[in-house]
Amino acid sequence: MRIAFIGDIVGRPGRKIIKENLKSIRKEFNIDFVIANGENASHGFGLTIESSKELFSSGIDLITGGNHSFDKKKDMSVLLENGAVLRPHNYPDGVIGTGLKICDVKVDSDSEKVEKLAVLNLMGQYSMPIVDNPFNLAKKVIQELKEKNIKNIFIDFHGEATSEKRVMLMMFKGKVSAICGTHTHVGTDDLQIYENTAYLSDIGLTGCYDNVIGMDSYAPIQRATTGLGTHFEVPNSCFSILQMMIVDIKDGVAINSFKIKKLCNNSDLIITKATIL
């Protein structure tokens, strides 16, 4: 199966570039399933029901989350309850929703052939809300998935620290199909396949690319220079980017991976192949 992963979609500009490009990219590259982190998709903070509908109709199959998952709490509760959206699996017991979904992926558009794909959404602990240990939980979940003979496993690890993300790779290389980091909004240059696991520390945002992590620069500069916090806003217009990680998985193994970047001012796609380790 060929899956695609889109990182933090930031506000309307992020949703717009997806709406304008995802379906054609999906068709051109024969992508079977698209996962996207949507915790910043509505006004930069959280996810509304309306935005989720827009993303699903633009070609996204499953939405993951992070530390902003509950910023639009009322809408998120509905989305989590009906299972359309994930939040980090390591939120403590008692928090609504789940961070694990076993999906049926139609792998050949001309037939009814379906394969299982487990998507696991986790959150790091450095500079994040108080959550359970993501590494110990991942170990337990992966073991349970293997016992159910589910081999295709994709992890969205939402974290601030690249070191935590590398730990996740070193613990689960060869055991899961792919691990992709989200949250920093800045893409890293370390796409690789390490012992059959596709890995990228952070895919980077989809949205405005010409400011501070997708937000108008005014408030971040005010905060940096005065120490006073003001509300961050998503710009009305900007230079936008769509960034996707593509992974080909066979029997749980990542056999190929590359990254696609689509810039708003250029019809050509920028494609970067994974380093094989």
Which of the 8 DSSP states describes residue 85?
A: B
Considering the complex, what minimum distance in angstroms separates the CB of residue 183 from Fe ion? 4
Return the number of the residue (32 or 160) whose C-beta is nearest Fe ion. Answer: 160
Return the number of the residue (88 or 252) whose C-beta is nearest Fe ion. Answer: 88
Site size with Fe ion, rule: CB under 5 A: 3
Binding track over 59-98 against Fe ion, x by CB under 5 A: -------xx-------------------------------
Query: Stretches 95-103, 149-157, 168-176, 182-190: which one binds Fe ion (CB under 5 A)?
Result: 182-190
Return the number of the residue (52 or 196) whose C-beta is nearest Fe ion. Answer: 52
Query: Stretches 25-33, 55-63, 183-191, 219-227: which one binds Fe ion (CB under 5 A)?
Result: 183-191
Considering the complex, what minimum distance in angstroms separates the CB of residue 184 from Fe ion? 8
Return the number of the residue (157 or 194) whose C-beta is nearest Fe ion. Answer: 157
Cα(191)–Cα(198) distance, rounded to whole angstroms? 7
Considering the complex, what minimum distance in angstroms separates the CB of residue 23 from Fe ion? 26
Return the number of the residue (214 or 252) whose C-beta is nearest Fe ion. Answer: 214
Q: Does 165 bind Fe ion (CB under 5 A)?
A: no
- The closest alpha carbon to 38, from 6, 13, 3, belongs to 6
Q: Does 183 bind Fe ion (CB under 5 A)?
A: yes
User: Among residues 43, 68, 183, 185, which one is catalytic?
Assistant: 68
- The closest alpha carbon to 11, from 45, 37, 48, belongs to 45
Task: With beta carbons less than 8 A apart as the criterion, state whether 215 and 234 touch.
Answer: yes
Considering the complex, what minimum distance in angstroms separates the CB of residue 182 from Fe ion? 7
Q: Does 261 bind Fe ion (CB under 5 A)?
A: no
Considering the complex, what minimum distance in angstroms separates the CB of residue 68 from Fe ion? 5
Return the number of the residue (7 or 235) whose C-beta is nearest Fe ion. Answer: 7
Cα(260)–Cα(277) distance, rounded to whole angstroms? 20
Cα(33)–Cα(17) distance, rounded to whole angstroms? 18
Cα(57)–Cα(179) distance, rounded to whole angstroms? 25
Considering the complex, what minimum distance in angstroms separates the CB of residue 104 from Fe ion? 28
Task: With beta carbons less than 8 A apart as the criterion, state whether 231 and 207 touch.
Answer: no
Task: With beta carbons less than 8 A apart as the criterion, state whether 35 and 64 touch.
Answer: yes
Q: How many CB atoms lie within 10 A of CB 277?
A: 10
Task: With beta carbons less than 8 A apart as the criterion, state whether 241 and 264 touch.
Answer: yes
68 is catalytic: yes
| Helix ranges (DSSP H) in the chain | 11-28, 49-57, 73-81, 134-147, 162-172, 218-226
Q: Compute CA 38 distance to the chain's CA centroid, rounded to the nearest angstrom.
A: 7
- Catalytic amino acids? 68
Using CB under 5 A, list all residues that contact Fe ion: 66-67, 183
